[in-house]
Chains A and B, each alone.
Chain A
Amino acid sequence: MTIDWVSFTPGGALTGGLLIGFAAAFLVLTIGRIAGISGILGNLLPGAAAARPGAGGERGWRIAFLLGLAAAPGLAAVSAVPMPPVESVVDWPWLVAAGLLVGVGTRIGSGCTSGHGVCGLARGSLRSLVATLTFMASGIGTVWLLHHVLRVPA
């Protein structure tokens, strides 16, 4: 392993990380909820508890949160925060497989990088610790397999 010092961006990483953490702190302080994106989104979709009739009070804050997330690129543009490229390193069939796995996995596993990796670890959740170690390990293993063993063009 060698560290890629050229690509390393400590300033942006620390600033962005603090913003993510403050956002999570803000949500739990104000409305007492976990800022976990897969849960907030997934619970609005068909088949979820909050999507059932009578769970209307569960929907408003989730929709507002997602609208805020969607407004972020616009705010970045008007405040001259550079938007990094959002370009896939793999072809579309791989992206579709990735999306399906992330969708199914985050619902079955009750969370993603934000819910488990940030909020869950911050509140000392054993479930989130196990989940985070698991998805980090399977993510690292998958990248190793694809780019160093199978050599999928990136």
Chain B
Amino acid sequence: MKAIAAFLCGLMLGVGLIVSQMTNPGKVIAFLDISGHWDPSLALVMGAALLAAFAGFAWVERRGRPLLAGELALPPRWPVDRQLVVGAALFGIGWGIGGFCPGPGLVGTAALSVDAAVFTAAMLVGMVAANRFAAGGASSARRSFSRQPSDNAQ
């Protein structure tokens, strides 16, 4: 049941990325290019997505537990640390260069776009490198710490 729910969620999210044209990197860069001819479409995508997601989170947090699992497994909302800011800044630079973020990279690759596949292959290398770096920096003391960076990833 859990796998079916996750599959349907991935499918719906992927179709949403296609319908909103966020799988088109030129469209994303046109949104980020606020000093040129600005295409505000992505702002509407985020606004509509936030509205729908907000309803879902408000409902499930009031309910206390999800329908198909024992408990909610949500990452911490705070504190803000240096890792978060540095990581987000690097992500934004890559997003601005290519116009791809992880979802559109995967969906574009599945749509047999060679450009998306090149991006996605490099992204996988970057993710493994970051995973290894985090794991390599973890001493045995860090491993016993309950909140490792990779555990509270969103």
Q: Which A residues have a C-beta under 8 Å from some C-beta of B? A: 1-4, 7-10, 12-39, 41-43, 45-51, 60-76, 81, 83-90, 92, 94-128, 130-132, 134-144, 146-148, 154
Contacts and interface: CB of A to CB of B under 8 A. Distances in A.
Interface string B98-124: 111111111111111101101111111
A81 to B, nearest CB: 6
Given A38-B127, A100-B125, A109-B87, A88 B8 contact: no
Contact of B52 (A25, A30, A69, A143): A25
Contact of A102 (B55, B76, B98, B129): B98
A8 B40 contact: yes
Nearest to A118: B49
B45 A110 contact: no
Interface of B: 2-27, 29-30, 32-42, 44-57, 59-61, 65-69, 71-80, 83-113, 115-116, 118-132, 134-135, 148-154
A135 B37 contact: no
B99 A89 contact: yes
Contacts of B135: 47
Contacts of A73: 14, 18, 107, 110-112
Contacts of A125: 75, 77-78
A47 to B, nearest CB: 3
A127 B78 CA distance: 5
Given A14-B44, A107-B131, A21 B50 contact: yes
Given A14-B48, A88-B115, A139-B92, A70 B126 contact: no
Contacts of A98: 94-95, 97-100, 119, 122
A19 B13 contact: yes
Given A126-B80, A127-B76, A8 B127 contact: no
B41 A105 contact: no
Nearest to B32: A143
